[in-house]
Each structure stands twice: as C-alpha cells, then as structure tokens.
A and B are shown apart, each in its own frame.
Chain A
Amino acid sequence: MTDNRVYLDNAATTRTDPRVVDAMVPFFTDTYGNANSLHAEGRAAHKALEDARSRVAAAINAGRPDEVLFTSGGTESDNSALIGLATAGGRAGGHIIVSAFEHHAVLEPAEWLGKHGFDISLLKPRSDGVVHPDDLRAALREGTVLVSIMHGNNELGTLQPIAELAAVAHEGGALFHTDAAQTVGKVEFDAQALGVDAASFSGHKIYGPKGTGVLFLKRGTRFAPYLMGGGQEFHKRSGTQNVPGAQGFATALEIMVAEREAETGRLTMLRDRFEAAILGRLENTYVNGIDSPRMPHITSLIVKGVEGESMLLHLDAKGIAVSTGSACSSGSLQASHVLMAIDCPQEIAHGSLRVSLGRWTTEADVDYLVDSLVPIVERLRAMSPVYEKMFGQKA
C-alpha cells in the first residue's frame, strides 16, 4: 500500500514503525504469559509490562510508574477519564466543562454524563483555534468538578495552553483532564509540569500499534473503574494486559521523544513549504489557526468554493491520502463540529482539507500534493455554478 502512495493523513492514523513491530514480536511468541500469573511465564510477562510502564512514565515525566495505566486506545482512555473522574466516590452530579471542539471520544461520554445527573458546559474556543484561560475562568462555577480540554486539536493542529488551563481549573476546585492523543511525542508532554490530573494517549497516532493507549492518572486522584473484572492495572482497568501492545507503545513513544527535536524542525519546514506554495498558487484559500501555536504536522486548509470530499476523491485518484471536515464526507450532513466551534461559516467549512504529515513524508511528497491539488481545485471551481458569483472572479 505504501508504494506509489503519498500518505498525508497521519492525524487519522500512522504506519506502525518497523522498529516498533520488531520490539513487539517477542512478546507474542516467546514472552507470552499472563502478567498476573505467578509462574515463570507470568513473571516474565509482568516484568515486560512493568518495564513498558516505567519507560512510558519516564517519557511523559509522570511522578511514578503506577500513574500509567495501559488501555485499549485513545477512546477508552477518554471515556474512562470522563466517566471515572466524574463518578468517583459515588458522585452522582456536578458541573463539567469540556471544550466544544473535543474529539467525540470526550464529547459523547460528556453528553452521557449530562443525561445521568451531571450538568455539562461546552466551552467554545476562539476563532484562532485556542481555548483561552480567561474563558475557562468565566465558565467555572461553584460545583464544577471536572474540566476536559484537549492538548492539540486533531483537525486544526492548534495547541492549547494546558498548564494555564489546568491551573485555572484547580483554582476553581475542579479536576483537569487533557486528551493528548494528537500531541504526545510531537510536542513536549511533561505531566508534572503541565499539572494535569489525567491525560489520554493513543498508540496508533505515534507509529505504534492500533488498539493500544494509555491513561495517565495522577496518584491520589479518585477514580471509578470503567472496565471491571480481574482488578488489573491497580484495580483501575480490568482485563488481561496487552504486553506486546504495552511494549509497542513504550517503544513508539521513546522513538518519538528521542527524535522529536529533529522531527519537529523537519515537519515544520515541510508544512510551511506546503502552506506557502498552496496559498501562493490558489486564490481564496486560507489556513485555520495559522498564527496560533500549532503542532508541526497538521495543516487545516480552507479552499473556498470547493467541496472537500471532491478534493479528497480526486487527490485519492492521484495517489494522495488526506481528509476533510466537510459535511458530505461525514455521513451526517453537518460540517465538522470543530470548524463550527471556531465559527467557520458552513458554506466555507465544506471546503476544508486536512493535510497531516508524518515520519516518512518527503519534500517531493509535499510538492506533488501542491502540483496535484492546484489543477483539481481549478477544475472543480470551473464546474461550480456559484464560484464566480460568490467570489467575484473566474477560477
């Protein structure tokens, strides 16, 4: 699949790094024991699991290894954080704030809590794609128990001031969770410096295996287990641990951290090259959050007067994979809630294209995207009945 394809949808998922696969293999075939068994096979698996836990804890600067809980992925980490923190200690109500452009893995459990006794506020980011600490301060109330704001937005790439937001939440007496699935390994994540109570991570966004994730849960934080059963993961997440997955996650994250500085520079250069070229060659285009702090690998491009799915399909035919926040690709007829949250008008949100670069993206890939996208947009604008009318010029 990788031959002749230009994969620029790394915010959706990444190719598992062969180094990660190599690191996992022995834990399928050799060290295959159940990490909770007392015999030699079990002890070996347990050792491998705890080794992975310590390495993840070091990579995110957790205070202690047992603040790292292995899960089945970002969605489970988010779901369990929201529900586990909100309902800890039998709590049946209270006020919860989540940002309006969270991933659905946060929005849906928040909505569920809203139907089960909690009061939910959706906090809007500003049009720069950032949730401002002052806005959070204004949204806090007596009785706010939990705030959840993502570290980096998956569609826009914009970074949120997590340390300040966590501090504001704590001043108001609330716990703070952040969904860091898109950011961990790509920008620095220091659990202690950020001061968060909980954070969610996903393996497959960092060239690790799908079906793996981590929930960071600060020691002493009250938490109601979301998966119940055998009491694994310090009675916080039951289920036989996925030892190869944990090893794969740890290796993937370590590679991210070791290569981060060089990779950030390389990706930023490629992203800026793409943005400068496409904005220079196509009129009526802009980049969301271009002046905000951003992750190095995501461009949220708006191409006015063109529908996103059409661009995506034509690019796919050219061998290029990207994604769109257009309504038409979502199956819901609603433009992306992320673009709506930053007050992007509906008719313009339909022309969104997300380009997300990755470990194997080259300068040639980015140039090929630009050279492919320009004629596609010109052709689609030429066949639009309204482009000239709406934007006052010929395509």
Chain B
Amino acid sequence: MLYSDKVMDHFGNPHNVGVIEDADGVGEVGNPVCGDMMKITIKVTDDHLDDIKFQTLGCGAAIATSSVITEMARGMSLEDAVRITKAEIAGELDGLPPAKMHCSVLAADGLRAAVDDYLVKNGREPISGGPEHVEEDEQGQ
C-alpha cells in the first residue's frame, strides 16, 4: 500500500486546518471506533463557499482527502460542492489505495453535511441527498 506524492504533500502540509468560529454551517461525520472523525466548517455568501476549514482525526488518507476537498470546494456553488464525488477527490490526489477509498467518502460526506446544515439553519431544504453510498468491495477486505 503506497500513497501518491500528492497524498503525502497534503498529509504533511494540510491546507485549511481549523475551525471557523462564526461558521454558517457545520458538518461532523465519522466514528471514533472506526478511527476516522471529521469536522468541516463553512462560510457561505450568495450560495457559494467563501471559506472552509477542517479538523480530522484519522490516517494519512483521511487527512489528505480532508485537505484536498477544502481546496476543491472553495468558491464553488453549494449545488456543485455537494456533487463532489469520492472518485473526484481520489483523482485530485492522483489516486488512493483501494483500502483507503472510504476516506474520500468521509471527506465528501463531511462537506455535504456542512452544506445541509447551513441550508436547514436558514429554513431551506437540504440538497445533498445524504451520505454517499459505499460499495462493499471498497471497504478494504
């Protein structure tokens, strides 16, 4: 199991780490029993992501996917942000080992939860459609 240089770059120097104190939306996903926990906070202006920060407890892939999704999603419309897929995140990192694909799902789900949280707080309907489905064969072995 080897990580790409891009994964190692994002892991070693993760971008946008932290918490936005006056966040418009908060997404918290994961489970400490699984070892992966992620919290995303967002600022929204005109239905676009103005700012985005994350905190993650997890392995190299969990931290790298968290970092890269903040870069991918910054400036995006909410509609586009919730459509970021695990495959796109993995592609942005030049691929992930098969057993680590679930980490990119965590990042995508964290962002969706934050967007939905913002919408619901503002009396609007959630748009993400919930967590991304993880196929059996992608859960490692």
A→B interface (CB under 8 Å): 305-310, 313-314, 317, 326-329, 331-333, 335, 346-347, 350, 380, 383-387, 390
A327 to B32, CA, bound (A): 12
CB of A386 within 8 A of CB of B37, answer yes
CB of A350 within 8 A of CB of B35, answer yes
The B89-126 residues at the A interface (CB cut-off 8 A) are: 97, 99-100, 102
Chain A residues positioned under 8 Å from B141 (CB to CB): 331-332
A384 to B99, CA, bound (A): 22
CB of B12 within 8 A of CB of A310, answer no
Chain B residues positioned under 8 Å from A332 (CB to CB): 99, 140-141
Q: What are the nearest 7 A-B pairs in CB distance?
A: A328-B59, A385-B39, A350-B35, A384-B57, A385-B55, A309-B59, A347-B32
Chain A residues positioned under 8 Å from B139 (CB to CB): 333
18 pairs of residues in contact across A and B, judged by CB atoms under 8 Å: A308-B59, A309-B59, A313-B60, A326-B35, A326-B59, A327-B35, A328-B36, A328-B61, A328-B62, A329-B1, A333-B140, A346-B35, A347-B33, A380-B57, A383-B56, A384-B57, A385-B55, A386-B57
Chain B contact residues: over half helix, strand or loop, or mixed?
mixed
Q: A346-B35, A385-B55, A385-B56 are in contact. List 11 more A-B contacts (CB 8 A).
A: A305-B57, A309-B60, A314-B12, A326-B35, A326-B59, A328-B62, A331-B140, A350-B35, A383-B57, A386-B37, A390-B32
Identify the closest chain A residue to B63 (Cβ): A310
CB of A331 within 8 A of CB of B99, answer yes
B14 interface hit (Cβ, 8 Å): yes
- Shortest CB-to-CB span from A126 to chain B, Å, is 23
Partner of A328, one of B11, B35, B38, B55: B35
CB of A383 within 8 A of CB of B1, answer no
Q: A332-B140, A384-B55 are in contact. Are A313 and B11 (CB under 8 A)?
A: yes
Chain A residues positioned under 8 Å from B1 (CB to CB): 329, 331
Chain A residues positioned under 8 Å from B99 (CB to CB): 331-333
Chain A residues positioned under 8 Å from B33 (CB to CB): 346-347
B75 interface hit (Cβ, 8 Å): no
B38, B60, B141: most-surrounded residue (chain A CB, <10 A): B60
Chain B residues positioned under 8 Å from A385 (CB to CB): 28, 37-39, 55-57
- Shortest CB-to-CB span from B39 to chain A, Å, is 4
Identify the closest chain B residue to A348 (Cβ): B32
Chain A residues positioned under 8 Å from B97 (CB to CB): 331
A380 to B11, CA, bound (A): 11
A333 to B62, CA, bound (A): 13
Partner of B12, one of A317, A331, A390: A317
A347 to B56, CA, bound (A): 14
B84 interface hit (Cβ, 8 Å): no
The B47-69 residues at the A interface (CB cut-off 8 A) are: 55-63
B44 interface hit (Cβ, 8 Å): no
A385 to B54, CA, bound (A): 8
- Shortest CB-to-CB span from A218 to chain B, Å, is 38
